[in-house]
Structure 1
Amino acid sequence: MEERGLISAEEDDYGTYSNLLLKYFLAEGVISGHEVFIASASNIPHSIFKDLPAPLTDEIAKQDDTSKLMESPGSAEDTMKIAWRYQNLPKLESVSLPSARFGHYYDISKTMSPDMLQSAKTHSFYLPNIIPLGGTYDSSSEMPCDYLQLLQSIQSVIHQQGFDGSNPQQKGQKNILRIGIQSLASVLWGDDICARERPHNLHSLTRFLYALRGLLRSSLSVCVITMPTHLIKNKAIIARVRNLSDTVVGLESFIGSERESNPLYKDYHGLFLVHKIPRLNSLISDASDTKDLAFKLKRKMFSIERLHLPPDLSDTVSRSSKQDLAGSTKLLSSGCGSAAAGKKHLDF
């Protein structure tokens, strides 16, 4: 992910997979040695931190890569059963292991060890434990009190830890702050955009995102926000949120929908929608190869893959119906002469 970027993840209907995506982002920060900031209005940040998935060891990854090589059709021990004349010809391509991997792999069936969690430096913001501003807060402000306190907490961490350059970090020890905000804009944050089509503070969320993006641009920070956009009544607010974000992805779960029982999507649990990709310091964004992505939850991993639909195989025959086939069978049984004189003809 890009530094100094704002990534918005539009939640699925039940928030199951979006929370898992947020945990992946935070777990990558712990493994990479980054500082982590967790903000939530519903779940205690410490409980989210304890449930981060455990990383897979390099030995397991190497075993998986080796098994893939052994099962690949291009291995030297494979014999060609069809077109045997090409068996001894030189191979044009050889399968090789990648020299480097991007990021890490995690086992969602396990949680991180206490030693890994203790080595990480974390900051948290749990809204129910925050004391309201009271008399110091101007009720006529366009930003709710909860958003303002969250923004002040993030700004304080960025300034005190030197991510904005005010307290320069030591040479060779520069670090990045990873900020994860869970279910922003829900009713628990004191915002009514999910309850009314014409909310009281129509621009409260966009004002907060403007200020947050300014903090990210001027510091070594990156932020991932999960947001229940399917509950927002005013669709114009969703368009503004996407415009203010550097990257926007959406999770569309098949739970409770018609696609859950559709055999075309039996291998997947939902669609991974890419609404916007970053174009920092450039005029245009890099176009991806494909936007048809889907995700599935395996026993140990959360996988995002290209959407491959199976071929459309039907019970009917394309060139003739069952009645035509029955008529052709009668013509064949009566001989070639009668077949030539009949209305039906044979296809060779």
Structure 2
Amino acid sequence: MSFVKRNTVLSSRPGRAIPSAKQPDAENQPPPPGVRPSPLDGRPTTSTGTASLDQLLAGHSGLPLGTCLLVEEQGTTDFSGILLRYYAAEGLVQGHQVHLVGYPPQWRRNLPGLAEPDKKSKSEKPPPAQEEKMKIAWRYEALGNSAASGNTPRGDANQPTFCHSFDLAKRLEPAVCKGSLNPTPSTGPPLFDARPQPTSISPLKAIIRHLQTKLETSPSSNIHRVVIPSLLLPELYAPQCSLPSEVLQFLHALRALLRRYSTQLTAIITLQTSLFPRSSGLVRWMELLCDGVLELIPLPATPGAAPPSSSSEKTEQAQGLLKAHTLPIYHEKGGGGAETSSFRETLSFSLSATKGLNIKPYSLPPMEEEENKKEKSPAGTVRDGVDF
């Protein structure tokens, strides 16, 4: 039987520090502007600038940090370029560092401006029954509604806007831009010289070095967005960039940067499948190196179709189909895409100057009522070659 004094204070183990209650907890620090946790697994996500696209990305209500998205488009339209403009404009408004690949800095002049807030939505008040709901459940329910409307959830005025509303008829003013647009080194040959230059460094490798330098010298709280419009377009990229050894190494290096800076970096790439079809082995390898792959298929205009009677009907009319081949971040539970049936149902998109690119399930337009016109019958009818 041992005797121990009750007033004796037990000393801690040697080499073991006692945690202090006054030490700051990194997990309790607020996220950077334009970043919020995913409702599925809590990973940080950022908005693409298009609310309907945020809802499509595997249920994360945004693009998870550390991932890239490849948007393919058929034909000569530029719907994917509009997605990139929204993505870049959202980053500049949120204070992110936007890195532009291929295009000159003048590309910034084509970014859409902020849309005016809807006065009707502000004047509306929530019903009293909605205010009595649990606070935690209300936050999860309002998560998708805030992204779709582009405004902050009601009752939480201090929460910053996650996805802004833009107007294609306006241009983004420098006064509202908190971030900066950083052009990368030129990818094209000087004076459109198509001759190979073995002594010079590859343009795609120069882009990776530029991005790596910017990420290493910037604070860990800064968010970076990489905008790569029209990858491998002959007008923007040197002929050597189209070699499989060049473009695949570029995507490998970009994927390594995304994994290394998994809480700071995202990227969106567009590709014209009219020049580089999906049936080629190069494009298939490019898709495997990207976390998400979307394909835009514009619908051909119907000749002789009657114009819509109002502007609202014109915006609701589908202008193309969208195929989600892969979505980023699928975990062991299947992700949010399984519940939304993104792969099973056919999706469509429509473009509006005020609402942007709206993605929704595709439905055939209603058939017009056929007028029953009575045709005048001839004097006699012919049946089985016999006159009656």
Counterpart amino acid of 1:155?
Q
Other structure's SS at 2:322 match = strand
Aligned to 2:348: 294
Q: Answer 1 or 2: which has greater helix percent.
A: 1
Aligned to 1:214: 256
The 1:62/1:275 distance shift into structure 2, 3 A limit, reads: farther
- 8 Å contact kept, 2:83–2:357: no
Gaps of 5+ in 1: 70-95, 139-144, 163-168, 194-198, 327-348
Aligned to 2:294: 249
Q: Does 1:230 align with 2:280?
A: no
Deviation at 1:214, TM superposition (A): 0.4
Aligned to 1:151: 208
What is the aligned-residue identity percentage?
A: 22
Aligned to 1:2: 64
Residues paired across the two proteins, number:
265
The 1:66/1:202 distance shift into structure 2, 3 A limit, reads: same
More displaced stretch, 293-302 vs 148-157: 293-302
Q: Does 1:184 align with 2:231?
A: yes
Write the distance in 2 (CA, Å) between the matches of 1:130 and 1:184. Answer: 15
Write the distance in 2 (CA, Å) between the matches of 1:261 and 1:202. Answer: 44
Runs of 4+ in 1 over 3 A off after TM superposition: 64-69, 128-138, 258-263, 280-286, 311-317
1:75-224 to structure 2, matched below 5 A, reads 99=153, 102-117=162-177, 119-127=178-186, 137=200, 145-162=202-219, 169=220, 174-187=221-234, 188-191=236-239, 201-219=243-261, 220-224=264-268
Deviation at 1:211, TM superposition (A): 1.1
Deviation at 1:15, TM superposition (A): 4.3
Deviation at 1:224, TM superposition (A): 0.7
- 8 Å contact kept, 2:81–2:229: yes
Deviation at 1:36, TM superposition (A): 1.0
More displaced stretch, 122-131 vs 23-32: 122-131
More displaced stretch, 102-111 vs 214-223: 102-111
How large is the Cα RMSD of the aligned pairs? 3.7
The 1:299/1:224 distance shift into structure 2, 3 A limit, reads: closer
Which one of the candidate residues 63, 75, 85 is aligned to 2:120? 63
> What are the superposed Cα offsets for residues 42-93 of structure 1, whole Å, 9 maximum, x if unpaired?
x42x222222111224xx2342576899xxxxxxxxxxxxxxxxxxxxxxxx
Give the TM-score of the pair, scaled to structure 1. 0.64
The 1:235/1:284 distance shift into structure 2, 3 A limit, reads: farther
The 1:52/1:232 distance shift into structure 2, 3 A limit, reads: same
Other structure's SS at 1:248 match = strand
Gaps of 5+ in 2: 1-62, 127-141, 147-152, 155-160, 307-312, 378-388
The 1:250/1:64 distance shift into structure 2, 3 A limit, reads: farther
Aligned to 2:6: none
Other structure's SS at 1:232 match = coil
Deviation at 1:240, TM superposition (A): 1.5
Other structure's SS at 1:149 match = helix
> What are the superposed Cα offsets for residues 133-174 of structure 1, whole Å, 9 maximum, x if unpaired?
967557xxxxxx121111211112112214xxxxxx4xxxx1
> What are the superposed Cα offsets for residues 277-304 of structure 1, whole Å, 9 maximum, x if unpaired?
1126657443252442222222433231
> What are the superposed Cα offsets for residues 235-283 of structure 1, whole Å, 9 maximum, x if unpaired?
22222122111111122223xx3657678x9712222222211126657
The 1:129/1:202 distance shift into structure 2, 3 A limit, reads: closer
- 8 Å contact kept, 1:10–1:248: yes
- 8 Å contact kept, 2:77–2:298: no
Other structure's SS at 1:231 match = coil
